[in-house]
Structure 1
């Protein structure tokens, strides 16, 4: 069994793989101030709850966009699981060439998503990851990572709208029944949902035109709100909730 750990700015997602099967997964809130021992106690409790035999754990792989937590979880792996972790960083084998000016700048999560999407859907393919930031990752016909786009995440945008206005409340992000809202909450939900949806489809249309000559290219969404926006999108046609965990397993296998 291997433990795949995806450390994001808002959440940490952990998955237990037994061979190719994802046995279970957990989600924790990211907290850079937590110690190795605090994270370990929570993770081991969750594993015990799901009846995971920790003695069968033979590997750990970590992808992180929070640099200070790489040390925390690497120490956790060696101290509590007696496993030297594999960290997604420069020099690791992915099978996806990074055609960027500075490949080291590309977030580990984006590389991992590209690996998983190419494996599952071939190339070319576009990945849209709905996280703290919403990222677009573009994989060419040759299977190369050629670049992407980074936008403020939808929750981040909604939180700013609430925080920076005196009278607008915090609202749930969901697809409203109508574009024209007849109260403040519905008006905000419409602005957030349809405004963000228009941005998504506008960017995807431009990416298709610029990178692929307008050709129809598979667009895979992942992240918590991916399924919500796939429903209304003209271009997002696949949703993979565990795309990053899949990519971590694939990279682990390539480097074992």
Structure 2
């Protein structure tokens, strides 16, 4: 069994895999990591491998501690990926975006792929059918949009995502909900339409914490999977092992 660990901006997401099958999944805060990981290994004592990626600088103490449980593979920019990186500043490309792109390549072979990760930020990553990573875009996520309006104005309240009943808000709260939710939906639809217009057939993957909230409100055909990063970590690990053994 494999334990996949995604260290994000605000949460740590963990999943247990048996080959390609996701057996169990957990989400917890950073300060809970030791208690939660201990419990996972007691429940799934067959875990023999750990694969980890982090959006920020890797916590050396955490890595050393995890190695006391099982063999640890850390995914970073030096790892082997199933695509050619054509980003003009490859040293600044987030490892999470690289893992998602790898998952798209391994899940949708011989396709143009657009990965949309709706989390703290919304990231767009495009990998063409020849497995070339081209680039993408980054914009504020839902919560950042609400928080920025509250933090940088004198009177706007702090709201939480709520689908507006109409495009035209007739109260301040309703106007804010319309601006944030509809604004992000229009943004995503616009990016999807632009890539489809330029490249034709594009496999679109929507993931991240707000994926389910947004998916049902999007018009274009998408593959929505909030677990896609964890599944991509697992597939990238299996891909790496296969390459090393060939």
TM-score (norm: length of structure 1): 0.86
Give the match for residue 223 of structure 2: 238
Q: Which moved more, 1:184-193 or 1:168-177?
A: 168-177
Give the match for residue 9 of structure 1: 9
The CA distance in 2 between the partners of 1:84 and 1:104, in whole Å, is: 27
1:255 paired with 2:240, answer: yes
What is the deviation of 1:236? 5.4
Give the match for residue 65 of structure 2: 76
What is the deviation of 1:5? 0.6
The CA distance in 2 between the partners of 1:68 and 1:88, in whole Å, is: 10
Task: Mark the CA change 1:57 to 1:227 in structure 2 (over 3 Å): closer, same or farther.
Answer: same
1:85 paired with 2:75, answer: no
1:197 paired with 2:173, answer: no
CA RMSD, 1 decimal: 2.0
The CA distance in 2 between the partners of 1:223 and 1:39, in whole Å, is: 20
Task: Mark the CA change 1:116 to 1:68 in structure 2 (over 3 Å): closer, same or farther.
Answer: closer
Matches within 5 A, 1:99-118: 99-118=86-105
**Structure 2 residue ranges without an equivalent (≥5):** 242-246
Structure 1 residues 92-136: Cα deviation after superposition (integer angstroms, max 9, x where no partner): 222122122243322111111112222223321100001111100
The answer (yes or no) to whether the contact 2:82–2:105 under 8 Å persists in 1 is no
What is the deviation of 1:16? 0.8
What is the deviation of 1:225? 1.0
Structure 1 residues 154-190: Cα deviation after superposition (integer angstroms, max 9, x where no partner): 2111111122223322222132121112322222111
Matches within 5 A, 1:1-256: 1-30=1-30, 34=31, 39-45=33-39, 47=40, 52-54=43-45, 56-69=46-59, 71-79=60-68, 81=69, 83-122=70-109, 123-210=111-198, 212=199, 215-235=200-220, 237-256=222-241
The CA distance in 1 between the partners of 2:145 and 2:215, in whole Å, is: 18
What is the deviation of 1:28? 1.6
What is the deviation of 1:240? 0.8
The answer (yes or no) to whether the contact 1:129–1:222 under 8 Å persists in 2 is yes
The CA distance in 1 between the partners of 2:92 and 2:104, in whole Å, is: 20
The answer (yes or no) to whether the contact 1:220–1:240 under 8 Å persists in 2 is yes
